[in-house]
Amino acid sequence: MNNTDMIWNLREIVRGLLDDDGRDDCFDGDRIIRRDYLGTCFGLLPSGKFYCVLSPGNIDVCEVCADACDNSPCDPDTQCTTPEDYNVEEDGEYHCEFCRDQTWIQQSEKELKEIGCCLNNGEGDPCDYFVEIVFDTVEDEQDWIKEMREKFDIKE
């Protein structure tokens, strides 16, 4: 994935978040959460896989990542996702599916941060992905709504 490619249409994400069906009051009632369903890991992630921490056997690790991570799934703290001698433009993809998935997640989070949101897994089903934003007050929520309507020219 080229870093200039956008994964999400932020205007459509905001439109989904503005729908009152996506508004939840947090359990303690002090915070407001707006969230919208994006899809499952099977349809969104480049590998189409769900990663279970205790069972990493479904990950095919490439040689570069295996060398960098002692033959185990890539460690996010290593530089195996973007080593200096690796040219994405020339080679076309990152090393292994775990690296591609991590790059997709990082790019998604970067894009969603532009509208104050984050990417989150489902509470009931960890395979589900949601876009979500949390507000401390109703006033904060209303300010965000006003800002997003202006930014993306969304009418009420």
What are the residue ranges in the chain where pLDDT is below 50? 1-3, 71, 73, 79-92
In a domain, 4, yes or no: no
Q: Show the domain range for 107.
A: 10-151
Strands of 128-135's sheet in order across: 23-25, 32-40, 128-135, 118-121
DSSP-derived 3-state class of residue 61: coil
* 40 alpha-carbon distance from chain centroid: 11
Number of domains in the chain: 1
In a domain, 136, yes or no: yes
- What is the C-alpha to C-alpha distance for residues 127 and 23, in angstroms, rounded to an integer? 21
pLDDT of residue 31: 84
Evaluate the CA torsion angle 115, 120, 123, 128 in order and state its sign.
positive
Cβ burial of 144 (10 Å; 0-12, 13-18, 19+) is: buried
pLDDT of residue 53: 60
pLDDT of residue 118: 95
pLDDT of residue 81: 43
β-sheet bridge partners, residue 64: none
In a domain, 5, yes or no: no
- What is the C-alpha to C-alpha distance for residues 9 and 41, in angstroms, rounded to an integer? 18
* 58 alpha-carbon distance from chain centroid: 21
Q: Give the DSSP H or E segment for 40.
A: strand 32-40
In a domain, 27, yes or no: yes
In a domain, 127, yes or no: yes
pLDDT of residue 24: 66
In a domain, 44, yes or no: yes
Polymer length of the chain: 156
In a domain, 42, yes or no: yes
In a domain, 156, yes or no: no
